[in-house]
Structure 1
Amino acid sequence: MNMATPKTTMLEPLLRQKQTTCPYCGVGCGVDISCNVSGRITSLDKVTGTPEHPANYGRLCVKGTNLLETNDLSGRLLHPTMAGAKVDWDTATRAVADKITQTIAEHGPDAVAFYVSGQLLTEDYYVANKLMKGFIGSANIDTNSRLCMSSAVAGYKRAFGEDVVPCDYTDLECTSLLVLTGSNTAWAHPVLFQRIQRAKLCNPDMKVVVIDPRETETCTIADLHLPLKAGSDVALFNGLLQFAHNNGAIDEAAIGEFTQGLNDAITSANTIDAKDVASLCGLNEADLNTFYDWFINADTAVTFYSMGVNQSSAGVDKANAIINCHLALDFIGKPGCGPFSITGQPNAMGGREVGGLANMLAAHCDIENPEHRENVKAFWQSPAMPECGGLKAVDLFSAMDAGQIKFVWIMGTNPVVSMPYREQVESALKKCDMVVVSDIVQSNDTLAFADIALPATGWSEKDGTVTNSERRISRQRGIMPPPGEAKHDWQIMCDVANKMGFASGFSYSHPSEIFDEHARLTAYKNDGARLLNLAPLTGKSQAQYDAMAPVQWPLTINSDKTLSAVRPFHNKVFSTPTGKANFVAVQFSLPIQVTSSEFPFVLNSGRMRDQWHTMTRTGKAPVLHAHTDLANVYVHPEDAKALGVSTNDYVTLSSKVSGETACIFPVQIDKRQRQGDVFVPIHWSGEWGSHSKLAKLYAPATDPISGQPELKHGAVSITPLNFSSYGKLYISDDVQVANGELDIVKVLNEVVESNNGYWAKYLIDNGLGVSIASQLESQAVIKGLLEKLPKTWVCYQHKTADSQVLICTYQDSFCFMAFFGAHSPSTKPKYDVPNSWVDSALTQSFNPEKLANFLRCDIDEEFLNGPVVCSCFSVREKTISKAIVDGGSSVSALGDTLKCGTNCGSCKPALATLINEHAITVEDVARES
């Protein structure tokens, strides 16, 4: 019998599935990609969560769900450049190697610095650390993880003797008390938030306490919200330790079996009278006592903390104040218990494992420990090894500004945007003899200072491992080949190392070889001293490495040769010389950046739901701009009233270090803010707006132990700002491609910013939107734009007494629209058109009736439904509110009616908030009647 060969038609593309790991937060979600085998990812491809991955069990947030929307090659850096000109790889890496060698010869190794990133894979991180510390001979390698997790690292090391997160994600689901502090989990780690939601539904007795100056969407699951004063965490948790001691909740004999230093910690906590804690923290005393009572009487407790704890001039003390409470009540080393620091980046933990911080060595070894130094040096067979820690991030750029750092290599991060004191960072990069930047994009705020730009691979091409917040190692697999001439970071560094004469130490041909060396180093002369011991993962073939399933350390080998994880400190033995955990005596101190009559507002900053870091990836997806399209400053209603501003009015934010050009943001009035505090999101930068440079406002204040900057407590002034005209303009994608010479940012700078104006851009489905506020009259702005637009466009204008509209067509399609008026956007004038209405018009075929509607701003009713709440299905606030009025009294009911919340689930907290606000409104009306 003849067997016919199955045929594949053009309508049935050959698909393959690859499993990788999400490149965003530290949750470490598994991702399945179904893609066409023939080339780069296309619109036919799909991304879903990996059902069996223990971090997410198939769930993805809105950012992960839209990964493929960010993966095109627009804006990618595809070739090495020197002074902006394309060069070949050999020329570029030879220049880097020669400059490092020259710098060492003339100024010593400490004149060289690397600044790396939690976006690197563990293999990249390992090679960078080995090259810098073991062969160049300096510890001046630091990372943007310094900005997010270094205080947590130092806190764990002081308490446990090793940087070990003692919790698993399952602890969030089986605890009786969950304390979320300094973490807007609903937005920063949505997949974990959904796990917590489900756990609370399954166990109604589970209590959740949210400690945050703001009433964030995380509070939708809270039994108690404590809106403490920013920076007062040490007082809060010292008060808890004191409360536990005074109420006889601490079994000192039992605790003494595995800890030391309890009495000193209690004595230090008692320096603040318990009655004063509520005052210092700005909390209701009854609520404070409720929290304390719940904690000391809980069967199990997890304190889940993030940037709100770490990004502080007292971040390490905050971490140890939390850890002290867990040690005192024996909430550690067992299910449902522990102080759980959650990382902000996909591989911040992997970087910590390989010594990516300036004050660490690989494999959790200490750079100040002579035995550790000699062991690592011997293992690497390296020619040099620094005897002390290097410069931490803020100090590194300060030294560069002072002329001490002559060469810096920046990999996968954007310090001009993310570091505090932007003025100094820019000054430092201008003064540095050579700035090398490895990145995936052609331009960002930092690349503007690069002498050499090196094209690195991105998420869909990188191949290696990452470690998530629960110590789980996962494979990040390359889905497609590197585009253009891009190379993996480890390959670039090995090329430079070889040209410097270090070929014997950097002869890797595959990341599996690097991982094996890293794993062997963790086991080298370990003798059980450190929990990070990956000996069971050594000796893997390339095929075994490629197929490696997610695995969590510490590891043990079972009798059947399988591997399983061991709970850290389950035996109450810690990585200290005595084997006991350390209580650390800490005392409350004020933040360094304190308010004053000149700068009376506390500045807080953090993440938005749908964006990530400096938007290198998420900024490419229009759907991720729908929830929040530009940076705003969030202000309490009473503060707004005192300032005389309304929603969408513009204000200037200034600080002691902001320089002549301060930040400008539109106002969003938010009753969930603490009065006297303001909030600004971190993501938007100079790439996205004329005055969206948040880092200008923060002084270089740091924790004295960790060096982590104080990015949760700035001190600023706010000044209302009036302009002569306001407006929006839109340009279609098709026209931007067809008219490649039109640089819209250059046009905005020349027409708007040069005249002391403001602009901020964002993506819409069919193009680009820009909000503008100008010191020029509307007519002058329109005139300036017309002078810059291509002469091939057909332009139409409509003028009224208070507005100007400009509509342009190209090849019989609408391609450009500008709406301007003299009234502030807070008055909701006619020209303040919805983005969605214009978006639907761009690329439509021209006809006179449509043109007339656009010129008159005759907006269809369907586009007046308010901001997007559900990004996945573009469901807007007014649509949801109507559904609630019509009986949609639960999140699931709204999902049944509108589909919102039924895909990634990131909007579920917002839906719960709307339901709650509607219930309160109805209750108020009933009470009044």
Structure 2
Amino acid sequence: MTSHHVTASTCCYCGVGCGVLIEHDGARILGVSGDPEHPANHGRLCSKGSTLHLTGDLDARALYPELRLGKSLARSRTDWHSALDHAATVFAETIRQHGPDSVAFYISGQLLTEDYYAFNKLARAVVGTHNIDSNSRLCMSSAVVGYKRSLGSDAPPCSYSDIEQSDCLLIAGSNMAYAHPVLFRRLEEAKARRPQMKIIVVDPRRTETCELADLHLALQPGSDVALFHGILHVLLQEGWIDRHFIDAHTEGFAALERHVRDYPPARVAELCQISRADLLTCARWIGQSPSFLSLWCMGLNQSSAGSAKNSALINLHLATGQIGKAGAGPFSLTGQPNAMGGRETGSLSNLLPGHRDAANPEHRAEVAAYWGIEQLPSTAGLPAIELFDALHAGRIKALWIACTNPAQSLPNQHRVHEALAACPFVVVQEAFRHTETCEHADLLLPAASWGEKEGTVTNSERRVSHVRPAVPAPGQARADWSITCDFARRLEKRLHPERPSLFDFRSAEALFEEYKSLTRGRDLDLSGLSYARLDEQGPQQWPFPPGADQGTTRLYTDGRFPHDSGRARFHADPYLAPQEPCTPDYPLILNSGRLRDQWHGMSRTSTASRLFGHVEAATLNLHPEDLQRRQLQDGDLITLSSRRGSLILPVQADDALRPGQAWLPMHWGKRFLKGLGSNALTLPAVDPLSRQPELKHASVEVSKAELPWRLVALVEGEVQNRLQTLRPLFEAFAYASLVPTGRERPALLIRAASAEPPAPELLERIDQLLQLSSGPILAYDDPSRSISKRVRLDDGRISGFRLAGETLAGQWLRSVWQDGRLAGDQQRWLLAPLSAPPGNVGAAPSKVLCNCLNVSEAMVRAGIAKGLDLADLKQTLGCGTSCGSCVPEIKRLLATRPVAQTL
């Protein structure tokens, strides 16, 4: 009889830091639910978190070390001793020949704090380089700079409970409903309890978050600094500022006051392309509300002016005294589960553990003394974009990448792939073996993943949680800290044989105990915490110094800030337009963002096919006017081009955008789409202070792709390995999309197009890999018209098909496949040439709105047509009653239903 256990842990997706209860039998994860005792989520989970147990596909996992001894060779299986010995030898020889700055480490906001600490100590104390950066550079580094230069510390001052207590809440550059759904549920409930609460959303798109807003400012992309200066101009003009707070607790206000005189409402309305009336309303709500809270994410951070945007927003809080009290303050929403832990441990090239700065000699001396080494390097390290520039130039000879996918996530992807291909030695430490970056790995090291690791994470509200393992890692996969420490000990013997090892750690807890003392007396002091205390008292917010009974809910309640003067600082940065203006050749602004059910580069979420039910393929969104201007229709294949690259993909109309703007999800890379994904188009321009790239603004053009020959295929069964095997064959097509699909019966869905029919041998090879070349196959071929069709029937049920040259029946075949059975009188339609099968063949299967209860958009629309409101839909269909992520979209459908006419 199988025994069932429950282990409390945390979710591995966004920075909300939700507690989860993992159901398992000691060997396999069987289910997951929200932890009602965790203060971050109180039992709630979003559509991604609630399907975590479905992402354990072993076919997607790295299970043992793999090594290749030449770029032209394939990797082959090896053992841990040989793998790490080889890596230590290569790194040591590279350092001896070219110096410590010839090697680098690029790590991840998804690592645990203990993993981070091990990597930092390895780079700085053993190798002797500050060349260690994190993918947090791509999402949170501008927030770090904003907090540090305005408030004195990289410390979000608020708590999630402030969301419920705020009277006026501004959400800037975040589709919170999709990016941080559990927090959005709290906001929805707060608004329902207190309808007088004012919610302002600042976003170029009318996102799902706007469904809750009292005011949506659809500003011109990149004009946020002008907006915030314009708001402050009105606050000053109307006397809605707190002079006492400014005089007692801040400095630099006089210069800012002079600066914002140049941002009167008329000018700001023109710069931001919003109405003057909306600007004045926004300022009035902020200025007259008893409490004002702001929430922001990538729309502010991923910008060449990201630091200025952050400080300009924080200026509003300082000018109104709206900080350090309930329901108020500037609150950045962290993108990754432990980006905060990375910042705490110093996992950006300019940082050191304990919120210290690598450029500060005193800070370097403190860390060196604590580690028992003579000194830390004084040469500055390379942030992410510059690091990969150095890789491209040949200055970095060996690169260690852990738990991240730069071959999909960095801007200007063609250059990134060139750099990785040219690097003499690339180590990839990764749980999932099919990421785009793994393609470049000379050494692939299998890492443990969610549910298999122990350590700590810090969420957006500074709350530290104990992450507990439920099951052992599969195959030979190991915890990240363990891999790092094992490598460090081997490298020490080669570089520093005279000194005792700095890496005598036998558990994650040992790393935490050493690290926490580096925070003692610092602004983030968590030296009073331990695994035992977290287990006893639950997750805690720092600072939590020795002797504390509980964590700190809110910072700066006494009006003192950790600058030398004890005062917060205003900053008067000018508004600067984005780096790449539109031109007649590239007249559209491309923005990118998150989908509801996908995560980053989809290394994990792509293993759960049901998470493709809401959006199943990469599609570009354009305003209907832009479609009409280019003589395009929904579903047309288009070429999307920037100065750096191009993609071919379908287009769809979206009136949530303004004319002149385009939107593309960030998640798609070359595993699922022909080309290098959205970041083949983005530019590597960076913020001058944070070095964060401008991923939210690139100038592009769209033109119709004339690709008359089409292919569509679907085959159920094993997905991950089949996708990996098939993907190279589709390089022959101009357009290709290969994605998982299906809920009860996972399958691979393929679409492709080209100007001319491919060689028959290529189709034969595809059919072989799809298992459509032999067995119970119905076949039709018309070589004169380049038409070829295959349908596999197993016990009267379609288990796969491939249509080429003529694909009219593709949608109908998908519907029949989903329904499960094929009626006898329908078989005659399966291969009918150029004739429509029964039913509406042109209609795509309705997307899934509610992933939790498998409620489709068609079902919701049918309910709305019957007159059902949101409460009725919840009761009759169940949608919106579990994670609630579908509620904003249901509200949008309800808002667009025809109004009944009274005669």
Do they superpose with TM above 0.5? yes
SS at match of 1:27: coil
CA shift in 2, pair 1:649/1:553, >3 Å: same
Shift of 1:545: 6.2
Check conservation: 2:126, 2:492, Cα contact below 8 A. Answer: no
Matched with 1:25 is 14
SS at match of 2:578: coil
CA shift in 2, pair 1:806/1:655, >3 Å: same
Deviations 1:485-509 (A, max 9, x none): 1111111111111112266211111
CA shift in 2, pair 1:257/1:109, >3 Å: same
Shift of 1:779: 10
- Name which of 748, 765, 785 aligns with 1:768: 748
SS at match of 1:833: helix
Residues in 1 aligned to 2:340 and 2:830: alpha-carbon distance in whole angstroms:
52
Whether 1:71 aligns to 2:56 is yes
Shift of 1:371: 1.2
Matched with 1:327 is 318
Shift of 1:368: 1.6
Residues in 2 aligned to 1:822 and 1:721: alpha-carbon distance in whole angstroms:
18
Shift of 1:62: 0.6
Q: Tell me, which stretches of 5 or more residues in structure 1 are unaligned? A: 1-9, 824-828
Check conservation: 2:432, 2:604, Cα contact below 8 A. Answer: no
Matched with 2:72 is none
Q: Equivalences for 1:600-749 in 2 at 5 Å?
A: 600-658=587-645, 662-691=646-675, 693-733=677-717, 743=722, 746-747=725-726, 749=728
CA shift in 2, pair 1:164/1:748, >3 Å: closer
Matched with 1:852 is 828
Shift of 1:839: 3.5
- Name which of 862, 874, 878 aligns with 1:882: 862
Whether 1:553 aligns to 2:530 is no
Deviations 1:645-669 (A, max 9, x none): 11111111111111xxx21111111
Residues in 2 aligned to 1:566 and 1:922: alpha-carbon distance in whole angstroms:
47
SS at match of 1:605: strand
Residues in 2 aligned to 1:776 and 1:831: alpha-carbon distance in whole angstroms:
20
Matched with 2:879 is 900
Check conservation: 1:782, 1:806, Cα contact below 8 A. Answer: no
Matched with 1:871 is 851
Deviations 1:266-310 (A, max 9, x none): 222223343110010010111111111111111110110000000
Check conservation: 2:799, 2:817, Cα contact below 8 A. Answer: no
Check conservation: 1:312, 1:708, Cα contact below 8 A. Answer: yes
SS at match of 1:334: coil
SS at match of 1:715: strand
Check conservation: 1:233, 1:309, Cα contact below 8 A. Answer: yes
Check conservation: 2:231, 2:279, Cα contact below 8 A. Answer: no
SS at match of 1:324: helix
Check conservation: 1:726, 1:773, Cα contact below 8 A. Answer: yes
Shift of 1:887: 2.3
How many aligned residue pairs are there? 881
Residues in 2 aligned to 1:896 and 1:308: alpha-carbon distance in whole angstroms:
36
Shift of 1:420: 0.3
Residues in 2 aligned to 1:349 and 1:204: alpha-carbon distance in whole angstroms:
33
Shift of 1:555: 2.5
SS at match of 1:832: helix
Q: Equivalences for 1:480-519 in 2 at 5 Å?
A: 480-501=471-492, 504-519=501-516
Shift of 1:760: 3.3
SS at match of 1:565: coil
Residues in 2 aligned to 1:99 and 1:778: alpha-carbon distance in whole angstroms:
44
Amino acid at match of 1:36: D
Residues in 1 aligned to 2:768 and 2:35: alpha-carbon distance in whole angstroms:
52
Check conservation: 2:648, 2:735, Cα contact below 8 A. Answer: no
Whether 1:48 aligns to 2:37 is no
Whether 1:532 aligns to 2:524 is yes
Residues in 1 aligned to 2:481 and 2:463: alpha-carbon distance in whole angstroms:
22
Q: Tell me, which stretches of 5 or more residues in structure 2 are unaligned? A: 69-74, 494-499
More displaced 10-residue stretch of structure 1: 846-855 or 367-376: 846-855
Shift of 1:245: 1.3
Check conservation: 1:269, 1:587, Cα contact below 8 A. Answer: no
Whether 1:753 aligns to 2:726 is no
SS at match of 2:662: strand
CA shift in 2, pair 1:606/1:744, >3 Å: closer
CA shift in 2, pair 1:271/1:875, >3 Å: same
Amino acid at match of 1:878: A
Check conservation: 1:650, 1:664, Cα contact below 8 A. Answer: yes
Shift of 1:598: 1.0
Check conservation: 2:711, 2:753, Cα contact below 8 A. Answer: yes
Matched with 2:496 is none
Amino acid at match of 1:89: W
Whether 1:149 aligns to 2:140 is yes
- Name which of 774, 783, 788 aligns with 1:792: 774
Check conservation: 1:135, 1:382, Cα contact below 8 A. Answer: no
Amino acid at match of 2:519: T
Shift of 1:251: 3.3
SS at match of 1:100: helix
Residues in 1 aligned to 2:536 and 2:715: alpha-carbon distance in whole angstroms:
46
Whether 1:922 aligns to 2:889 is no
Residues in 2 aligned to 1:23 and 1:859: alpha-carbon distance in whole angstroms:
45
Residues in 2 aligned to 1:234 and 1:210: alpha-carbon distance in whole angstroms:
15
Matched with 1:3 is none
Amino acid at match of 2:110: Q
Matched with 1:372 is 363
Matched with 1:396 is 387
Amino acid at match of 1:272: Y
SS at match of 1:616: coil
CA shift in 2, pair 1:40/1:744, >3 Å: closer
CA shift in 2, pair 1:864/1:325, >3 Å: closer
Check conservation: 2:874, 2:880, Cα contact below 8 A. Answer: yes
Check conservation: 1:691, 1:759, Cα contact below 8 A. Answer: no
Amino acid at match of 2:514: E
Matched with 1:522 is 519
Residues in 2 aligned to 1:746 and 1:14: alpha-carbon distance in whole angstroms:
38
Residues in 2 aligned to 1:127 and 1:695: alpha-carbon distance in whole angstroms:
30
Check conservation: 1:79, 1:455, Cα contact below 8 A. Answer: yes
Matched with 1:5 is none
- Name which of 453, 462, 474 aligns with 2:453: 462
SS at match of 1:473: strand
Whether 1:34 aligns to 2:20 is no
What TM-score do you get using the length of structure 1 for normalisation? Answer: 0.91
Matched with 1:181 is 172
SS at match of 2:5: strand
What TM-score do you get using the length of structure 2 for normalisation? Answer: 0.94
Matched with 1:6 is none
Matched with 2:71 is none
Residues in 2 aligned to 1:639 and 1:512: alpha-carbon distance in whole angstroms:
56
Amino-acid identity (%): 39
Check conservation: 1:133, 1:384, Cα contact below 8 A. Answer: no
CA shift in 2, pair 1:440/1:557, >3 Å: closer
CA shift in 2, pair 1:802/1:881, >3 Å: farther
Check conservation: 2:434, 2:724, Cα contact below 8 A. Answer: no
Whether 1:913 aligns to 2:897 is no
